[in-house]
Amino acid sequence: MGEHRRAPRHRVLKSGTIRFGGGSIDCLVRNLSTTGAALEVATPAGIPERFILDMPGEGLHLPCRLVWHKERRIGVAFD
């Protein structure tokens, strides 16, 4: 199965927060590119299709769209 991403992702282990109108959820950013990321969460339940990913340690505040989810991981594209 080939790579379908528009930009290469780089492995990272950074803390982040998923923020949306109804609250926030802590996450770990597992990989990151200019177009998206993979996030580790306790559960993908309750995460909306669109949200803001805050990475305070990196100074990032990124609008995201949920692309896929599997067990404790979600994939997002940056809007």
Q: What one-character-per-residue DSSP string does 7-56 give? A: S--EEEEEEEEEEETTEEEEEEEEEE-SSEEEEE-S--TT--SEEEEEET
Total domains in the chain come to: 1
pLDDT digits (tens, 9 = 90+) for 39-78: 999 999 999 999 999 999 899 999 999 999 999 999 999 9
Owning domain of residue 33: 10-78
The pLDDT value given to residue 7: 74
The pLDDT value given to residue 10: 86
* CATH at 19: 2.40.10.220
Task: Give the predicted TM-score (pTM) of the model.
Answer: 0.88
2 part of a folded domain: no
Please give the average per-residue pLDDT across 7-14, as a whole number.
87
The pLDDT value given to residue 1: 45
pLDDT of residue 27 exceeding 70, the answer is: yes
